[in-house]
């Protein structure tokens, strides 16, 4: 079989849904997927932020649907799923990107409310959205689900303990869903980013101790996550499922 490398990640005619798509890595993936030819559904809690990036996508000649949804609430995910299928008729790519990564002063002082919020957004939400959309993908004969995890799940630190645990749980259910949906042609994979310079990185962006553990000697830029996501979304990753791809500059 000869692999055609021209337009390797062409997503023309595809529909992608990105949670947490209005900023940071999500925004970069929304714009990257639109540039590759996909129409996009942009979900986050703030509608105005979704509408702003939707306008950027539309200027690129692609369709975009902004929608406000809290991924930690299953009723919102039902509404998001129904709206996406009502507007586009299908979803080809689901990117579970929305997440919470607060630093905690100590595990003893972490409140139950904060713990529950982190678990709801990082684990409970993706679990449900994969079930809702993955089942429809399976009925349609295929699709790609990409979960955005973190190297923190593999190299946890005390000050991000609930976050690391929720992302480790996300990694676990990725494998389970890959097994469940694989026979129906739906692939489920994980990207585990390291330190990326986004609007939520201010708490650690100047931390030399963290940077010294990165082989490339720098933090990532949001657009550097896009190619990995495009690979997992495209047909050229057709034999890749249940995988965890680390994009962290060579962290150690």
Residue 231: what pLDDT?
A: 97
Mean pLDDT of the chain: 92
**CA–CA gap between residue 87 and residue 41 (Å, rounded):** 10
Element (H, E) at 101: none
CA atoms of 26 and 101, how far apart (whole Å): 15
The whole-angstrom separation of Cα 197 and Cα 182 is: 34
Residue 189 has pLDDT above 80, yes or no: yes
At 194-243, the pLDDT tens digits run: 888 887 666 656 666 777 788 788 888 999 999 999 999 999 999 999 99
* pLDDT bucket at 15, cuts 50 / 70 / 90: very high
Residue of 163, 166, 177, 237 with catalytic role: 163
pLDDT digits (tens, 9 = 90+) for 146-160: 999 999 889 888 878
Give yes or no: 127 in active site: no
- Please give, one letter per residue, the 3-state secondary structure of 192-245: EECCECCCCCCCCCCCHHHHCCECCCCCECHHHHHHHHHHHHCHHHCCCCCCEE
If you ran DSSP here, which 8-state letter would residue 122 be given? I
How many Å apart are CA 50 and CA 27, to the nearest integer?
A: 9
Give the active site residue among 101, 166, 167, 177. 167
Query: What is the spatial distance between Cα 122 and Cα 176, in angstroms, rounded to a whole number?
Result: 16
Please state the rounded mean pLDDT for residues 181-192: 98
pLDDT in tens, 105-141: 889 999 999 999 999 999 999 999 999 999 999 999 9
Tens digit of each residue's pLDDT (9 = 90 or more) over 52-98: 999 999 999 999 999 999 999 999 999 999 999 999 999 999 999 99
Is 106 catalytic? The answer is no
118, containing H or E segment? helix 112-119
Pick the CATH number of 15-247 from 3.40.50.720, 3.30.1120.80, 3.40.50.1260, 2.60.130.10: 3.40.50.720
DSSP structure class, residue 121: I
Distance CA 181, CA 187 (A): 7
The mean pLDDT value for 174-195 works out to 96
149 is catalytic: yes
For position 1, what pLDDT does the model report? 45
Q: Residue 159, Cβ neighbours under 10 Å: how many?
A: 16
Each residue's pLDDT tens digit, 161-179: 999 999 999 999 999 999 9
Domain ranges of the chain: 15-247
Q: Give me the catalytic one of 22, 149, 192, 234.
A: 149
């739906």: which residue's tokens? Answer: 186
- pLDDT band, very low/low/confident/very high, at 4 (cuts 50, 70, 90): low
């Amino acid at each position: 079989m000869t692999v055609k490398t021209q337009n390797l990640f062409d997503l023309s005619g595809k529909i992608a849904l990105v949670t947490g798509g209005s900023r940071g890595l999500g925004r970069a993936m929304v714009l990257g997927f639109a540039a590759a030819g996909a129409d996009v559904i942009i979900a986050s809690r703030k509608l105005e932020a979704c509408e702003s990036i939707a306008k950027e996508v539309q200027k690129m000649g692609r369709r975009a649907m902004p929608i406000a949804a809290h991924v930690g609430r299953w009723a919102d995910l039902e509404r998001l799923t129904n709206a996406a299928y009502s507007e586009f008729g299908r979803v080809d790519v689901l990117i579970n990107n929305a997440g919470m990564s607060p630093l905690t002063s100590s595990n003893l002082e972490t409140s139950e409310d904060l713990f529950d919020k982190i678990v709801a957004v990082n684990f409970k939400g993706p679990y449900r959205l994969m079930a809702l959309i993955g089942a429809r993908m399976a009925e349609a004969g295929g699709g790609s689900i990409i979960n955005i995890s973190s190297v923190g799940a593999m190299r946890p630190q005390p000050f991000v303990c609930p976050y690391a645990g929720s992302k480790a749980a996300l990694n676990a259910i990725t494998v389970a869903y890959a097994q469940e949906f694989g026979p129906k042609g739906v692939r489920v994979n994980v990207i585990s980013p390291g330190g990326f310079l986004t609007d939520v990185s201010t708490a650690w962006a100047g931390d030399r101790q963290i940077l010294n553990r990165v082989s490339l000697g720098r933090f990532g830029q949001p657009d550097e996550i896009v190619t990995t996501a495009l690979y997992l979304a495209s047909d050229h990753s057709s034999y890749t499922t249940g995988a965890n791809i680390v994009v962290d500059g060579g962290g150690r």
